Structure 1
């Protein structure tokens, strides 16, 4: 069996889960679980709810054990509020199950839940996440949980006693944003009432048969006949037989532990707010044993995931990046790596701004070290979990050129294939790229990043004509630097060659050998030279890396813009 290291959190949890599963039910399939509510865009913070058990379940499978990763789609949760950007008239559906709410206007999907599940399911497939999806709408409306519901109603006093231990305790600080609070509480609803009513405690909440909403209050229950009476704020009153009724659900703090027992969950992570008194996870740990005869899963609390340049994620604010959004600008192994390399209790940010270039640089360095056998054990493990799963490797770009180089090229060429291929060929004349497909999908992802994430005023616009006024104002030293560069273009026409050239011109002017280590004075001269080149080429004093920019502009046009 693989031995875990302190830094390799996945192996450590796999050790614990395998041992726990053997204590509970030797030889049975090990169940790891996630829960997602398709109440809106399922963002990159929610993805941690999936990636944590995925990585652990995958490690367990790599070791030859039978493991399944289930994702409970909480699509039978109530529709809480209308997200930003949606027609306000959808407020009439608040209180209905998510599967009974119409999809946003123009959607191809039959309801709200399916509309938001679909892109997540597609993204998980691309990420190599194998799972068994469980629709809670299907489970509840099919009567699959009938015995569990009747049991909960019989044991409602026991449940009420457990909950009562925490009702008077001071709650943890609650997020001002309801969606953030719900995400922190795990796979269900954070702020949902726990079933306490004037007529007593009832852990089951029916959806009204007239208005379909959960604005109902249970007024009586007869255990012998299972007749349950309820009233709704819409004015409807009704008595149903719970032994036959399939239009309602257990309140969240009872529903979650019921499912732990029903599915035999051994491992499931939870949000950071579970450290608070009365949290769903803490209360559920008692209810699952005292009522349902099961055991609470083991699993870590996970920290939030942020986006560089954005506040903590909340789907209610609109425009929050999802896994599908991330996969339009980064390859699946890279996105997996961001979750695999950090322990669940460590927060981290995913870059949609310029930082994505540095993230890709780190990934490429790690790839090289792993290939050479020089990476340490923890980095090698996180790389292996990112690059593939127990079933095999994930697709990669055949020629993974630096992301920042590709981004600069497509920025300058505005995605013109012929010009892009010319520049890619010139990057390494000794081993030229002969087809854009060799650089895909990374090339296309870099292009999408440039066109969707880089503001127009930060895009590179190469000058059409030389800046004659600036050229005429230059002194002899500056003119000489431009001449030296122009004369050396043909001889140095590759990425490495042009790098040597642009750094070397100030050295030549200072009478220094090309291999001279830069002094503070030389660095100043280089910076001034670079600023001059940028100004003459793109009318700004900064821009893409100069060697890449020169390749993209082309030698003849560079000479013209430099007045040579």
Structure 2
């Protein structure tokens, strides 16, 4: 096993722990005479869980990327590994998320049904609500190079895969109840309240109840308790399809289970040994799966990691199923520039698919790889995305020069490749901000875009837009979808005669120096030197002089003048890029040359 070093990144350190834990478990099985091969490397099982209850957002992606990165490191070391993603599509439909296209209040009639029994948003090509939201995430994971085994909980439960585990949980419901009782901080609801449990409520009431449940730990969990006492299994009604049910009696010998449905009034008796129309409640379902699947590593969000929450309670319940709690570090929330904490119960939150429209897959992977799981971070959809790309490119240059720190080198390697190979990259990664400025000015018109890009570096011109794809396409999409129309660049059609006529002698001389130097400096680097150098020359300084506070003021004034004459505003894209985009002849026209 590879040893941890002080320079190792967080992925390596967790992989060390996970492999050691897998080997310990395998040794225990061998000692118990399970027939485990003496020399065989243990299978390392990492797990994630996603509920397709609405848009699966960038916060949910951390639930996948954390175990993916660890599993990928384990795979790089030659160990057999599985990354399981449980699609919790047999969860109940809790409420109608706001802001989802093709969805209105009529979807409230499906509250309480499994997500796979809820119709998709209007116009969707998919067969159910769960399938609709799962499909977008699956496509994003493919682009991100995530290798996994997907598990549909609907298929598992309705196919009878968990029958033995369900019956085991019911037989040991007293022990499970005793564990949960340690964390109960409020009295159990009375019969009348139980009768109403799970019925559709208005949004304000449900939000208040969810907040109260979160504050009371295990006591807030929905179960099927009724006159039969605590019950860890909740049937879906065979008539209305909802889980507005409570168990009224159960016979341990025959497994005869009787339930009442508060949704439609139906009541019936079924044999749990052959009934596949319900599921274990969450705080029992999760540790049951840990035991059954032999999960060694599964992180969880802070909402699952607080005292009395599902991860802590599950750690005590998993032993009832003969299993062990996985290594499970808490991961922090992921935010979006300018947005609060994301919740998949709300519509309109950015998804991994949305992010991949404006950034390349390696960059998105890097955001998750470079931060420890307990560190929060933001994904930029605003102007900050340009700075993020600058940092990514700068790290690449450091690596090429042999100056990168080991942890930084590791994070970039994990972002750009997996154990299966390298992810697609842009052959010639020009600065994202440059590409964004160019497509902003040209509107994405390819002939104009290629002309400008070919002039950035005359000694090594871009000869085909394929050289700068897919980064160019991501920048184009960012301009089109994230930059408001009133903030996009529109070059003036005609010279601003009034402004040109009002210039003082100093301004006129500055423009003259700029226009005289255009031909000699017609490249990105050359124009950068020129526009910064003109105020230096006017101040009697050398073109390469270090700026003083007074010089910076003069430069800002000169830049504002150029922007006003070119685009009618005080700011805009970087001036060297703007000048290249406008073209020398038109620059001369607009600047009065």
TM-score, L = length of structure 2: 0.91
Please state how far the C-alpha of 1:178 moved relative to its aligned partner.
Answer: 5.8
**Counterpart in 2 of 1:531?**
560
Please state how far the C-alpha of 1:316 moved relative to its aligned partner.
Answer: 3.0
Please state how far the C-alpha of 1:548 moved relative to its aligned partner.
Answer: 0.2
Corresponding position: 1:253 with 2:283: yes
Partner of residue 454 from structure 1, selected from 478, 483, 489: 483
Size of the alignment, in residue pairs? 555
Please state how far the C-alpha of 1:6 moved relative to its aligned partner.
Answer: 6.0
**Counterpart in 1 of 2:303?**
273
Q: Is the 8 Å Cα contact of residues 43 and 322 (structure 1) preserved in structure 2?
A: yes
Equivalent-residue separation in structure 1 for 2:208 and 2:73 (angstroms): 31
Please state how far the C-alpha of 1:347 moved relative to its aligned partner.
Answer: 0.6
Equivalent-residue separation in structure 2 for 1:34 and 1:191 (angstroms): 23
**Counterpart in 2 of 1:71?**
85
Task: Map 1:28-427; keep pairs closer than 5 Å.
Answer: 28-85=42-99, 86-168=103-185, 192-233=221-262, 234-289=264-319, 291-427=320-456
Please state how far the C-alpha of 1:25 moved relative to its aligned partner.
Answer: 1.8
Runs (5+) with no aligned partner, structure 1: none
Q: Is the 8 Å Cα contact of residues 7 and 406 (structure 2) preserved in structure 1?
A: no
Alpha-carbon distance change, 463 to 536 in structure 1, aligned in 2, over 3 angstroms: same
Q: Is the 8 Å Cα contact of residues 179 and 315 (structure 1) preserved in structure 2?
A: no
Alpha-carbon distance change, 396 to 439 in structure 1, aligned in 2, over 3 angstroms: same
SS of residue matched to 2:268: strand
Equivalent-residue separation in structure 2 for 1:466 and 1:110 (angstroms): 57
Runs (5+) with no aligned partner, structure 2: 28-40, 188-203
Deviating more after overlay: 198-207 vs 399-408: 198-207
CA deviation map 1:122-178 (0-9, x unaligned): 1001001000000000000000000000001100111111111111279xxxx9996
Equivalent-residue separation in structure 2 for 1:119 and 1:53 (angstroms): 20
Please state how far the C-alpha of 1:315 moved relative to its aligned partner.
Answer: 2.7
Equivalent-residue separation in structure 2 for 1:221 and 1:35 (angstroms): 31
SS of residue matched to 2:511: helix
Equivalent-residue separation in structure 1 for 2:172 and 2:454 (angstroms): 72
Equivalent-residue separation in structure 1 for 2:4 and 2:177 (angstroms): 44
Q: Is the 8 Å Cα contact of residues 169 and 277 (structure 1) preserved in structure 2?
A: no
Q: CA RMSD of the aligned region, Å?
A: 2.0
Please state how far the C-alpha of 1:370 moved relative to its aligned partner.
Answer: 1.2
Equivalent-residue separation in structure 1 for 2:402 and 2:83 (angstroms): 32
CA deviation map 1:414-460 (0-9, x unaligned): 00000000000000010000000100000000000001000111111
CA deviation map 1:207-245 (0-9, x unaligned): 000000000110111111111100101110110011110
**Counterpart in 2 of 1:466?**
495
Equivalent-residue separation in structure 1 for 2:321 and 2:373 (angstroms): 29
Q: Is the 8 Å Cα contact of residues 225 and 247 (structure 2) preserved in structure 1?
A: no
Q: Is the 8 Å Cα contact of residues 7 and 378 (structure 1) preserved in structure 2?
A: yes
Equivalent-residue separation in structure 2 for 1:261 and 1:401 (angstroms): 49
Equivalent-residue separation in structure 2 for 1:110 and 1:465 (angstroms): 55
Q: Is the 8 Å Cα contact of residues 300 and 344 (structure 1) preserved in structure 2?
A: yes
CA deviation map 1:389-434 (0-9, x unaligned): 0111111000000000000000000000000000000000100000
SS of residue matched to 2:140: helix
Q: Is the 8 Å Cα contact of residues 6 and 12 (structure 1) preserved in structure 2?
A: no
CA deviation map 1:3-25 (0-9, x unaligned): 34366111110000000000112
SS of residue matched to 1:205: strand
Please state how far the C-alpha of 1:274 moved relative to its aligned partner.
Answer: 3.5
SS of residue matched to 1:31: strand
Equivalent-residue separation in structure 1 for 2:245 and 2:224 (angstroms): 11
Deviating more after overlay: 23-32 vs 384-393: 23-32
TM-score, L = length of structure 1: 0.96
Equivalent-residue separation in structure 1 for 2:207 and 2:275 (angstroms): 30
**Counterpart in 2 of 1:515?**
544
Alpha-carbon distance change, 176 to 503 in structure 1, aligned in 2, over 3 angstroms: farther
Alpha-carbon distance change, 191 to 116 in structure 1, aligned in 2, over 3 angstroms: farther
Equivalent-residue separation in structure 2 for 1:214 and 1:231 (angstroms): 10
Equivalent-residue separation in structure 2 for 1:31 and 1:177 (angstroms): 36
Equivalent-residue separation in structure 1 for 2:124 and 2:174 (angstroms): 44
